[in-house]
Amino acid sequence: MNNIRYCYLLFALVAFLASCKRDIQKTDHESTIDFTQEPSDNPSDILETAFIKLETNDACLIDKTVVQVEFAAEKIFILTGGERKLLIFDRSGKFVAVTGGRGAGPGEYIAPMSFSIDLHRNIISVIDIAQRKLIAYDLTDYRFISEQKALYNNFSFEYLEDNKIVWKNTDYQSDYGDWSFLVTDREQNYVDKHLKKEFITGYFTGHIKSIYKQNGEVFAYTEYHPVIYHFMNDTVFPLYRLKFGKYQLPPIDYLKKISANNVNFLPELNRSDYVAQYSVFDAGKTFAVFYSVSEKPHIGIYNKDNRHTYNYTMEEFQDKLKIGKVDHISGTVDDYIVAVLQPFDLLEEKSKNYTFLPELQNMVAESSDGDNPVLFLFKVKKRK
């Protein structure tokens, strides 16, 4: 009788686990996007562009760089480098407010790494890795609402529609350190894990926000795996598989070799002929990938409407568009991808008699070395 009862309980347990299992699903929806090195159209022929010159004053000074840019509720939210603060501008670039402040008190942060916007709950949340806490602010008046201890030392996250959170797992020392993505409820109670890591390291590269939202849906990717995953409630499936023409992502054996004894392997990787890092930016019909090979930056653009790809070195991209020097790509505004143009770079180009686009030329003429950046917006043109 005991054996029968044991077998029944074991069968029930297996059935329960099977019913709860939420592995990454293989589907026919995965598309391959190949950024080949074949000659591409002039970017000025395929892209619609715009510029936003951010207001500069003591309250909103961006001392180093822009880490993340998102657009919601008709406002532009910018997480800065350097002093690390969350600034808000309107669509024209006029400064609106700063969210939270530096410190160790309630609603204050020391090292905010990324933020996520939840339109359903009308909040913007910031993850502070220094104090390991998740801080929520009102999306309308930007006041502090609440904070909770971050149970995992992760850099980025997004809210799912089923009252859960998906985290990019950078806490390699936790119980789930060998998994790429963790799913928790809103109280951060563990729910699920996805995509076993083949390579575990404490060194990170690429855009800090490798989990993102597009049209309210959540997507995610990892540094050395060329697949973009779509998170839909209890289901995760591969959506895009990226290829970089003749270039390849580094093999896992190579990564393990150059990172032996926990050395900082990033300089050697950056010098190699592999794709050292890539970052994804998804806005409407425009899908862009910033990547680097042999310390040379590239940008690939995919038009979701006609499924065409375009690929450029960053030098070629910026010169043909007459935008000076791109510092980096940081996020999205509406259906545009956003790149950052630093005034000191623009003024240096101006001193060399560089010819800018007329709209940008006027902004450069009115800029000084210590001004806030200019946001360069681009998207694929609509079909005629």
375: domain CATH number is: 2.120.10.30
Category of 307 on φ-ψ map: left (φ > 0), alpha (ψ -120 to 50) or beta: left
Hey, is 376 helix, strand or coil? strand
* Residues 77, 68: Cα–Cα separation, whole Å: 8
**The pair of three-digit structure tokens given for residue 300, joined into one six-digit string:** 């690939």
Hey, is 5 helix, strand or coil? helix
Is residue 9 situated within a structural domain? Answer: no
Q: Residue 344 carries which DSSP code?
A: H
Q: Residue 103 carries which DSSP code?
A: S
Closest CA to 365 of 351, 383, 379, 381: 351
Hey, is 56 helix, strand or coil? coil
Is residue 191 situated within a structural domain? Answer: yes
Distances (CA, A) of 243 to 32, 167, 234, 365: 7, 25, 28, 40
Is residue 229 situated within a structural domain? Answer: yes
Structural contact between residues 86 and 126, judged by C-beta atoms closer than 8 angstroms? yes
Structural contact between residues 295 and 270, judged by C-beta atoms closer than 8 angstroms? yes
pLDDT at position 19 is: 36
Is residue 21 situated within a structural domain? Answer: no
Hey, is 54 helix, strand or coil? coil
Domain count, the chain: 1
Q: Residue 250 carries which DSSP code?
A: P
pTM metric for this prediction: 0.90
Distances (CA, A) of 301 to 40, 205, 214, 244, 304: 10, 21, 16, 11, 10
Contacts of residues 255-262 at CB distance under 8 Å and 24 or more positions apart, as own/partner, are: 255/199, 255/201, 255/224, 256/199, 259/199, 259/201, 259/203, 262/202
Is residue 294 situated within a structural domain? Answer: yes
Is residue 4 situated within a structural domain? Answer: no
The H-or-E segment that residue 10 falls in is: helix 2-20
- How many CB atoms within 10 Å of residue 280? 22
Is residue 10 situated within a structural domain? Answer: no
Please list the rounded mean pLDDT of every run of 10 residues in the chain (384 residues): 40 38 55 88 95 96 90 96 92 96 94 94 95 96 95 88 90 84 92 92 86 94 95 89 96 96 95 97 96 97 95 96 94 96 95 95 94 97 77
pLDDT at position 205 is: 84
Domain that holds residue 64: 26-380
Is residue 7 situated within a structural domain? Answer: no
Residue with tokens 């919601």: 72
Longest dimension (CA), the chain: 91
**The pair of three-digit structure tokens given for residue 353, joined into one six-digit string:** 């008699």
Phi and psi (nearest 5°) for 252?
-60, -40
